[in-house]
Amino acid sequence: MSVTSKRTFSQAVSCMKTDSLFYRLFQSAPTLFFELIDQFPVQAERYVFRSVELKQTAFRIDGIFLPPPEVTKPRAYFVEVQFQKDEYLFRRLFAEVFLFLKQNPEIKDWQAVAIYPNRSIAPTDTEPYRVLLDSPRVQQICLDELGERQEVSMGLGLVRLVVEPEATAASLAKQLLTRSQQEVPAGLSRSAIIELIETIVVYKFPQLSRREIEAMLGLSDLKQTRVYQEALEEGERLGGKLEAKSLIMRQLTRKLGEIPQDLQGRIEELTLTQLENLGEALLDFEQMDDLVTWLAAHEDD
C-alpha cells in the first residue's frame, strides 16, 4: 500500500470514528444539535435522531432528526457531518432530502445542516444549489468557530471536544468534567456526560488504555464519590427505560409491521413499568388494533 493510500485509509477510519461520535452525541441528547444550530423547535427534547434508508434506492441518510408525532407543523432536520473534502456533498445531500420528502409527505418543513471541522472542508461546487444555500433551508456550521471554550455552554463544549486538538483535549475534557457538577444539558444525566467525555477521549487517544485515560482525566477518584454513584443510578434507570423501549419497538415491528408515528409517540410516554407490561402483552397481539386497545386501557395506569 502506498503512503498516499495509507493516509487516505487512515483519514477514512478517522472520519468513520468522528461520524459515530456525533451520532452518539445527537442520539443521546437531541438538544445538543438544536443548541448547535441555535434553534429550539417545539418539544426539541422529543425529536428522534436516526439513520434512514430510502426505499427502492441506494441512498441512506446518515442522520435525520424526526419530530414527535403530535407536532402540528413537523420539521425534519437533515444532518451531514463532513470531515473530509467532498465536492459532491451537496449533490448527494439534496438528492436524499428531496427523495425523503417525496416518500414522506407528512413532513411539511425541513432544514439541512452541514457540519465541518473548519471552513476549508466546505464544498466549492455550489452553483447548482445556490438558491438553497442562500436560503434559511440550509445551515453550514464550522466547529472551530464555536468560540472560546470558556464562552460555550456545556453542550457545545461536548461537541467541541470531538474536534479539539490532542494537545489540549485532556485539558478541555477535565474542564467539562468539572462543569458537569453544576451544568447538565437537557436529556442527559451526569453519568451519561462522563461516559460521553470518556468515550470521546478514548477515540482521540487510541494508543492509551481506558485505565490510563481514567487516570489522565482523574476519573478513577471521581467514580468513587457519592455524587457520581447517585448520578450513575439515575443514568442506569434512564438507560433501562431506553433499552426496554428499543426492545419493545423491535418486537412490535416484527409482529405487527411498521408502527405508525402517533402510536410510537404514545409508547414513548410510557413508564418503565408500563413498558414491561406491554412487553408481556404484545405476545398475544395479532393486529395493530390490539396495540391501540392496550394503550387506551393502560396509558393511565
Residue type, 208: L
Half-sphere exposure of 77 (CA within 13 A, CB side): 25
pLDDT at residue 93 in the model: 92
- How far is residue 75's CA from residue 67's CA, in Å, rounded to a whole number? 6
Q: 291 Cβ partners below 8 Å, 6+ apart?
A: 252, 256, 259, 263, 282, 285
Domain locations in the chain? 3-145, 239-298
Confirm if 275 and 248 have CB atoms less than 8 A apart: yes
- How far is residue 190's CA from residue 112's CA, in Å, rounded to a whole number? 30
Choice between 19 and 203, residue whose per-residue pLDDT is larger: 203
Per-residue pLDDT tens for 30-55?
Answer: 888 999 998 888 778 888 888 776 66
Sign of the C-alpha dihedral, residues 23, 47, 111, 259? Answer: positive
Segment among 19-23, 72-76, 189-193, 230-234 with least mean pLDDT = 230-234
pLDDT at residue 122 in the model: 94
Residue type, 218: G
Grid cell digits, residue 39: 434553534
Half-sphere exposure of 278 (CA within 13 A, CB side): 33
- How far is residue 84's CA from residue 9's CA, in Å, rounded to a whole number? 12
Q: How confident is the model at residue 244 (pLDDT cuts 50, 70, 90)?
A: low
- How far is residue 195's CA from residue 177's CA, in Å, rounded to a whole number? 10
Grid cell digits, residue 98: 428531496
pLDDT at residue 57 in the model: 57
Strand partners, 112: 78, 138
Q: How confident is the model at residue 14 (pLDDT cuts 50, 70, 90)?
A: low
- Give percent above pLDDT 90 in the chain: 18
Per-residue pLDDT tens for 93-138?
Answer: 999 999 999 988 889 899 999 999 899 999 998 999 999 999 999 9
pLDDT at residue 77 in the model: 96
- How far is residue 31's CA from residue 155's CA, in Å, rounded to a whole number? 8
pLDDT at residue 4 in the model: 38
Confirm if 66 and 192 have CB atoms less than 8 A apart: no
Confirm if 25 and 37 have CB atoms less than 8 A apart: no
Mean pLDDT of 18-38: 83
Residue type, 56: Q
Choice between 89 and 48, residue whose per-residue pLDDT is larger: 89
Q: Is 164 helix (H, G, I), strand (E, B) or coil?
A: coil
**DSSP single-letter state for residue 140:** E
pLDDT at residue 5 in the model: 37
Residue 2 scores a pLDDT above 50: no
Highest mean pLDDT among 77-91, 184-198, 278-292: 77-91
Grid cell digits, residue 214: 481514567
* Beta strand pairing call for 48-53 and 75-81: unpaired
Segment among 117-121, 197-201, 217-221, 293-297 with least mean pLDDT = 217-221
Sign of the C-alpha dihedral, residues 125, 131, 134, 140? Answer: negative
Segment among 45-49, 220-224, 225-229, 264-268 with least mean pLDDT = 225-229
Q: How confident is the model at residue 228 (pLDDT cuts 50, 70, 90)?
A: very low
Half-sphere exposure of 154 (CA within 13 A, CB side): 22
